[in-house]
C-alpha cells in the first residue's frame, strides 16, 4: 500500500498496489504476482559470433549514414535546382529535391536504425524495478509549508492591513487595461464599410476575361460571366479588398424562366447580375449548372437558384445572394443602376 490513506468509501477497491499480497494468503493464491520473470538471454548474450554480427550491422548502418551525407553534399553541389526528372511511379519531380530528400532521409534513418539495433541486441536488456514515491508530500512537510506560509503572510501583514491589500489588487487589476487599450489601433471600426461596394449608378460592367465593358449581346444563354466595376484596376493598392466585395456574376435566362418578380425587374432582357461572394462565409461562387440555373459554392456546397431570386436551395448559406440592379446605357453597354441594396458576403450581427 502506498503512503496514502486507505479510502473510506467502500465502493473503492481496497487492494491497489497490494493486489494479492495478503501475507499468509500469498502462498496459495493462484492469482498472486509471481514477480518479475527470469531474464531470457538473447542470442547475442550467449553467442559471441552473433554479437559480433550485430556489431558489424550497427557499424554498417552508421557507415551508410556517413556515405549518405556525402552524397547529400554532392547532390547539392552538382544537381541544378531546376532539373526535372521522370521517376517511376512518382512522375516528373525535381531531381534536386528527390536526391537531397532521400540522402538526408537515409543519413538520418541509418543513425536511428544503428542506435536502436545497438540498444536491442548489444546493450543489457535486463529489466530492473525502481520504486515509486508518492507525489503528495508527507503530513510533516505539508505542516511545515503551511506554517512557513502563515509566518510569511503574517510578516507581510497583508491580512491585517486591508487598505494596502485592496489598493494593490486594484492596481494590478487595472494595469493590464493599458495593454488592451493599445490594441485599439489594430484596425478601423467597421462603421458601414461592409454595406457598400464600389458599384454605383452608371458604373459599367467590365468583363473580367477581356477587361472590356460588357454589352447585352456578349452574354449568351447558358454561359457564366464574371464582371467587376469600371475603374477598378488590378494594380491599385486596395484591389483585393474591393474585389472581395464587388465581384459579380452574370447569366442570361429566358425572361419567362425568371420566377421572382423583383429579379425580373432588376434584370435587363433576361440578363441578371448577382454578387459572386457566397452569403455563407464568403467564398467566391464559381460552379454554374446551365439547365437548372443553379450556382454552387465549391467551398461548402451552398446552392442558389438564379432563376428564383438566388434563394438558397441547399447547403449551409443562410440567405439569398444579393442582386445588382442593371440596365443599358445610351451607348448600349450594361451598367449598374446603383450599389447592392444589401450587404454582400457573409452575414454579421449588424446586418439586420
Partner 1 sequence: MSTSDNNQRKAPRGERVADWADGRLGIYSLAKANMRKIFPDHWSFMLGEICLYSFIIIILTGVYLTLFFHPSMNEVVYHGSYVPMQGVLMSEAFASTLDISFDVRGGLLIRQIHHWAALIFVAGMIVHMMRVFFTGAFRKPREVNWVFGFLLLVLGMFTGFTGYSLPDDLLSGTGVRFMQGAILSVPVVGTYLSFFLFGGEFPGGDFVARFYSVHILLLPGIMMGLLVAHLILVFYHKHTQFAGPGRTNNNVVGMPLLPVYMAKAGGFFFLVFGVIAAIAAIASINPIWALGPYRPDHVSTGAQPDWYMGMPEGLIRAMPGWEINLWGHTLVLGVFVPLVLFPLVLVSIAVWPFIESWVTGDKREHHILDRPRNAPTRTAFGVAWIAEYIVLLIGGGNDMFAQYFHLSINSITWFVRIGFFVVPVLAFIVTKRICLGLQRRDRDKVLHGRETGIIKRLPHGEFVEVHEPLPQASLHTLTAHEQYEPLELGPAVDENGVERKVGRIEKLRVKLSKGFYAEGNQIPKATVEEYREIQAGHGHH
Q: Does 330 bind partner 1 (CB under 8 A)?
A: no
Pick 155 or 187: Cβ nearer partner 1: 187
Figure out which of the listed residues 198, 200, 244, 337 binds partner 1, where binding follows CB under 8 A.
244
Q: For residue 326, which of 242, 229, 188 has the smallest C-alpha distance?
A: 229
Closest separation in Å from C-beta 326 to partner 1: 18
Closest separation in Å from C-beta 157 to partner 1: 33
Q: Does 119 bind partner 1 (CB under 8 A)?
A: yes
Q: Does 288 bind partner 1 (CB under 8 A)?
A: no
d(CA 337, CA 44): 88
Figure out which of the listed residues 64, 71, 93, 264 binds partner 1, where binding follows CB under 8 A.
93
Place of cell 486596395: 238
Figure out which of the listed residues 267, 302, 307, 323 binds partner 1, where binding follows CB under 8 A.
302
Number of Cβ within a 10 Å radius of residue 76: 13
Figure out which of the listed residues 203, 268, 280, 293 binds partner 1, where binding follows CB under 8 A.
280
Q: Does 71 bind partner 1 (CB under 8 A)?
A: no
d(CA 285, CA 298): 7
Q: Does 92 bind partner 1 (CB under 8 A)?
A: no
Q: Does 39 bind partner 1 (CB under 8 A)?
A: no
Closest separation in Å from C-beta 67 to partner 1: 14
d(CA 199, CA 336): 7
Figure out which of the listed residues 48, 132, 155, 330 binds partner 1, where binding follows CB under 8 A.
132
Stated as kind and residue range, the H or E segment containing 133 is none
Q: Does 229 bind partner 1 (CB under 8 A)?
A: no
Query: All 3 cell numbers of residue 245?
Result: 466585395
Q: Does 29 bind partner 1 (CB under 8 A)?
A: yes
The residues facing 225 across adjacent strands are: 250
Closest separation in Å from C-beta 257 to partner 1: 23
Closest separation in Å from C-beta 125 to partner 1: 7
**Runs of H (alpha helix) within 236-290:** 239-246, 261-266
Figure out which of the listed residues 4, 63, 290, 329 binds partner 1, where binding follows CB under 8 A.
4
By the 10 Å C-beta count (0-12 exposed, 13-18 middle, 19+ buried), 285 is classed as buried
Q: For residue 322, which of 291, 285, 269 has the smallest C-alpha distance?
A: 285
Which residues, 140 to 179, sit near partner 1 by CB under 8 A? none
d(CA 110, CA 74): 19
- Total of chain residues touching partner 1, rule CB under 8 A: 114
Closest separation in Å from C-beta 6 to partner 1: 9
Q: What is the CA radius of gyration of the chain?
A: 38
d(CA 344, CA 247): 10
Pick 89 or 172: Cβ nearer partner 1: 89
Amino acid at each position: 500500500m502506498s503512503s496514502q490513506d486507505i479510502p473510506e468509501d467502500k465502493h473503492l477497491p481496497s487492494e491497489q498496489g497490494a493486489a494479492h499480497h495478503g501475507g499468509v494468503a500469498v502462498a496459495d493464491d493462484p492469482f498472486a504476482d509471481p514477480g518479475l520473470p527470469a531474464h531470457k538471454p538473447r542470442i547475442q548474450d550467449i553467442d559471441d559470433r552473433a554479437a559480433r554480427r550485430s556489431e558489424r550491422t550497427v557499424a554498417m548502418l552508421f557507415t551508410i549514414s556517413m556515405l549518405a551525407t556525402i552524397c547529400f553534399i554532392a547532390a547539392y553541389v552538382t544537381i541544378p535546382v531546376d532539373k526535372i526528372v521522370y521517376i517511376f511511379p512518382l512522375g516528373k519531380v525535381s531531381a534536386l529535391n528527390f536526391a537531397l530528400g532521400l540522402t538526408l532521409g537515409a543519413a538520418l534513418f541509418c543513425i536511428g536504425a544503428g542506435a536502436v539495433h545497438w540498444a536491442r541486441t548489444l546493450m543489457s536488456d535486463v529489466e530492473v524495478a525502481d520504486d515509486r514515491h508518492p507525489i503528495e508530500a508527507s503530513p510533516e512537510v505539508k505542516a511545515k509549508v503551511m506554517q512557513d506560509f502563515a509566518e510569511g503572510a503574517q510578516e507581510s501583514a497583508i491580512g491585517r492591513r486591508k487598505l494596502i491589500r485592496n489598493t494593490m489588487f486594484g492596481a494590478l487589476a487595472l494595469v493590464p487595461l493599458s495593454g488592451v487599450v493599445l490594441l485599439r489601433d489594430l484596425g478601423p471600426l467597421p462603421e458601414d464599410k461592409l454595406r457598400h461596394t464600389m458599384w454605383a449608378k452608371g458604373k459599367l460592367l467590365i468583363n473580367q476575361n477581356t477587361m472590356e465593358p460588357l454589352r447585352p449581346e456578349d452574354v449568351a444563354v447558358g454561359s457564366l460571366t464574371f464582371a467587376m466595376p469600371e475603374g477598378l484596376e488590378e494594380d491599385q493598392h486596395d484591389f483585393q479588398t474591393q474585389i472581395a466585395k464587388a465581384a459579380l456574376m452574370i447569366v442570361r435566362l429566358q425572361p419567362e424562366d425568371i420566377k421572382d418578380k423583383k429579379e425580373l425587374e432588376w434584370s435587363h432582357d433576361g440578363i441578371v447580375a448577382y454578387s459572386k461572394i457566397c452569403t455563407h462565409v464568403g467564398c467566391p461562387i464559381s460552379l454554374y449548372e446551365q439547365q437548372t440555373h443553379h450556382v454552387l459554392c465549391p467551398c461548402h456546397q451552398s446552392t442558389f437558384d438564379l432563376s428564383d431570386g438566388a434563394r438558397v436551395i441547399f447547403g449551409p448559406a443562410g440567405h439569398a445572394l444579393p442582386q445588382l440592379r442593371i440596365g443599358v446605357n445610351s451607348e448600349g453597354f450594361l451598367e449598374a443602376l446603383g450599389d447592392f441594396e444589401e450587404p454582400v458576403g457573409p452575414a454579421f450581427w449588424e446586418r439586420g
